[in-house]
Amino acid sequence: MCDTLCLLGDGVTLFAKNSDRPVTEPQVVEAHGRRAPGGIVRTQYLELDDTGAAATLLSRPLWLWGAEHGVNEHGVAIGNEMVNTVDDPALVPPALIGMDLVRLGLERARSAAEAVDVMTSLLERHGQGGMGDEVHALAYWSSFLVADPVSAWVLETSGRRWAARPVVGGGAISNRLTLRADWTRASPDVAPGTDVDSWRDPATPTGFADGRLAASRAFVAGRPASGASRADPRAAVAHLRDHGSGPWGAPGSGGPVVDPPTAVLADGTGVTVCMHVRDFEATTASMVAELHAGRSGPARAWVALGNPCASVFVPVLAPAPDTAGARPRARARPRAGAPAPIPGALGREPMAARFAAVGRAVEAEARWRRCAPCSHPSRTRCGTRPTRSAPVPPGGRRSRRAPSRRWSPGSTSWPASGSARRADGPGKATGRIAAMANDGIENPMLPLEGADEADGVERILVVTAHPDDVDFGVAGSVATWVKAGIGVAYCIVTDGDAGGSDRSVSRADMAVLRREEQRAAAAEVGVTEVVFLGYPDGRLTPSIELRRDISRQIRRVQPQRLVCQSPERMWDRIGASHPDHLAAGEAAVSSVYPDARNPFAHPELLEEGLEPHAVPEIWLTAAPTPNRAVDITDTFDTKIAALRRHRSQVGEGEWLDERLRSWAEDGGRRAGLPAGRMAETFQVVLTP
């Protein structure tokens, strides 16, 4: 999911792209110097003879070799889009993917036409195939917009087939085929007069792309008509922030903030140029570049990470022919007094996480603004519900195993008034965004679990290492879910025999006692199903046997949500990262993906009559990077009552209320709740 456009002027081209990717996938911006020919270049899935490389500025998902978009030292810019055709990309072996072709075109071409030659010759020789979306396990074909200072091309592909035509004046592409019989170049297997639209899969709706493509074409058609030879880059930034009502938020301009859509409908309404499809896909990186003919210095570009409407477009210098060196320019030391070509921090994952955190914080704050239809705070759930989303993901094709619940932006919305949630100029931001971007807040406000998220969740399985872990970590949330009518089951991995400090109690007796305590605690929150796996306390490892036993419970319970401890260590709260917790979390995550859904994993489970089951989502507790919160203010006393049942561990428990209240109120603050309200926090992971 992406949108790319260009405007051709008198010796200058304006190029702009939004890269829409899974919301949890970090993207980085890097500058790479020239590379001499010789040896092998390793793309995502292939090894090719290395013909050398021009200096490039690239924006790429961290796990990919290739790039979503970029510009090279010769002023060539390329961006790609996912497209769906009658050819199934899942049926071909891994080869070159669209992002590989973007990077190879930039590395090997001095003009847009030459880039098309490079990309199509590689496509014909090596083919196209392989997963391009790791989170949703998607393989797909690509279309491309290729531009230089004086020309541009649209290139569309389906497997090894391709067709291309030059752009006149300006053009735009999105996640659908746009060529008809107007192409001027094509692969040998494309007959003259072929309508490229005939490659389109008729079973795949195009509504998710049509609105965005129309918006980009309208922007291109509405370019300045007062004798201007080029569009202002600020206007391109405003377009990349379009939430469906037109460009807004041009750097340096005033005006109100425009809310993003609150729901995605079957006709594609709600999927906008600046994308906010909650928990599924969002704009994660953007670029605007000015490509000048005959300029010896570097091209000007502006890059943003995260949602462009809540991010900052950072000015960078694309590589220049006279200064491109052999080392990546992000690491090169600039000349004295010269501007740095690109901030090196943009090439590291923490910066992507910081920009993503800004976007999440603004979204979380917006979710608490007052409900316009009824003037009640949204947290009262007055009955005004957003329109439910369409059951088909943007782009038309589901992942190989779509979640059973519908995805939707849900209650995600933005402030209609107040301080602007946008950049006021290159490198600057105003209000709360500036403080977060510059101060590096690690724990921004977390969105609360919305009522729409519970729709379709009938069963939840909670897996923890020890008796009492579930009550310290998530008992308030469990009580909330049980009150909402959701069935919750516990799976306790160890027998807890290493707990407590009373040496007069035998370890065997301690194990029996702790099981009794956990059953009593479960009853306090309304849970009646508790399974103990009986692994030894303090010696837990994420063994294949443990994965099998957790997979057995997943197949038996068939939950739509699994809650477990995070397998990542929290250095600021080391007590939450007991080795048994980490091991149980790792085993549980591995059981969800891939074990429980794979019929060939643990074949003895099939012999027991337990069919494979795919869990759509994992909720990690005690996670270093939480992204969701559950308000437990109304169930906090129930949580304390459950913890008091663990007398062998907490004694009389007189300290529980104060300590747990402090933790929960901290969670409430991070969720943007009013003072005194409490929350438990999670990192939610959607499975492929």
pLDDT one-digit tens code per residue, 326-354: 333 333 343 433 334 677 778 777 778 77
What pLDDT, on a 0 to 100 scale, did the predictor assign at position 437?
A: 28
The span from the CA of 267 to the CA of 111, in Å, is: 38
Record the pTM. 0.58
What pLDDT, on a 0 to 100 scale, did the predictor assign at position 128?
A: 95
Nearest in space to 193 (alpha carbons), one of 163, 154, 168, 235 = 163
Burial of 608: CB neighbours in 10 Å, binned 0-12, 13-18, 19+: exposed
391/90: higher pLDDT: 90
Residue range 613-628: average pLDDT?
91
Q: Are strands 487-494 and 529-535 parallel, antiparallel or unpaired?
A: parallel
The span from the CA of 251 to the CA of 243, in Å, is: 16
Judged against a pLDDT cut of 50, whether residue 35 lies above it is answered with yes
Judged against a pLDDT cut of 60, whether residue 390 lies above it is answered with no
Domain locations in the chain?
A: 2-201+277-355, 451-686
Active-site residue (options: 2, 6, 274, 491): 2
Helix runs in 318-459, H state only: 349-367, 431-439, 451-454
Peptide bond before residue 188 is cis, with ω within 30 degrees of 0: no
* Percent of the chain's residues with pLDDT above 90: 55
Lowest mean pLDDT among 413-422, 505-514, 552-561: 413-422
The confidence band for 565, taking pLDDT boundaries of 50, 70 and 90, is: very high
Mean pLDDT of the chain: 80
pLDDT one-digit tens code per residue, 409-431: 222 222 222 222 222 232 222 22
* Residues in the chain, total: 688
What pLDDT, on a 0 to 100 scale, did the predictor assign at position 223?
A: 52
Judged against a pLDDT cut of 70, whether residue 240 lies above it is answered with yes
DSSP 20-34: EEETT--EEEEEE--
296/18: higher pLDDT: 18
What is the 8-class DSSP label of residue 600?
Answer: T
pLDDT one-digit tens code per residue, 441-462: 333 445 566 544 566 799 999 9
Token output for 395: 């782009």
CA-CA-CA-CA torsion sign (210, 134, 401, 624): negative
What pLDDT, on a 0 to 100 scale, did the predictor assign at position 483?
A: 93
Question: How would CATH label the architecture of 2-201+277-355?
Answer: 4-Layer Sandwich (3.60)
Per-residue CA distances from 681 to 260, 276, 360, 564, 605 (Å): 25, 22, 14, 12, 33
Query: How distant is the alpha carbon of residue 341 from its chain centre?
Result: 27
Token output for 285: 């990186």
Residue range 151-171: average pLDDT?
95
Lowest mean pLDDT among 57-66, 120-129, 353-362, 628-637: 353-362
State the CB neighbour count (10 A cutoff) for residue 229.
Answer: 9
Judged against a pLDDT cut of 90, whether residue 533 lies above it is answered with yes
Token output for 282: 């969002």
The span from the CA of 458 to the CA of 220, in Å, is: 48
Q: By three-state DSSP, how is residue 83 classified?
A: strand
What pLDDT, on a 0 to 100 scale, did the predictor assign at position 453?
A: 55
CB 629 within 8 A of CB 672: no
Name, of 249-253, 490-494, 627-631, the range with top average pLDDT.
490-494
The confidence band for 408, taking pLDDT boundaries of 50, 70 and 90, is: very low
Mind spelling out the 3-state secondary structure of 510-573? HHHHHHHHHHHHHHHHCCCEEEEEEECCCCCCCCHHHHHHHHHHHHHHCCCEEEEECCCCCCCC
The CATH number of the structural domain formed by 451-686 is 3.40.50.10320
The confidence band for 438, taking pLDDT boundaries of 50, 70 and 90, is: very low
Judged against a pLDDT cut of 60, whether residue 17 lies above it is answered with yes
What pLDDT, on a 0 to 100 scale, did the predictor assign at position 10?
A: 84
Active site residue 2: yes
Judged against a pLDDT cut of 80, whether residue 439 lies above it is answered with no
The residues facing 70 across adjacent strands are 58, 78
The residues facing 6 across adjacent strands are 15, 171
What pLDDT, on a 0 to 100 scale, did the predictor assign at position 295?
A: 66
pLDDT one-digit tens code per residue, 252-263: 777 778 877 766
Query: How distant is the alpha carbon of residue 431 from its chain centre?
Result: 25
The confidence band for 361, taking pLDDT boundaries of 50, 70 and 90, is: low
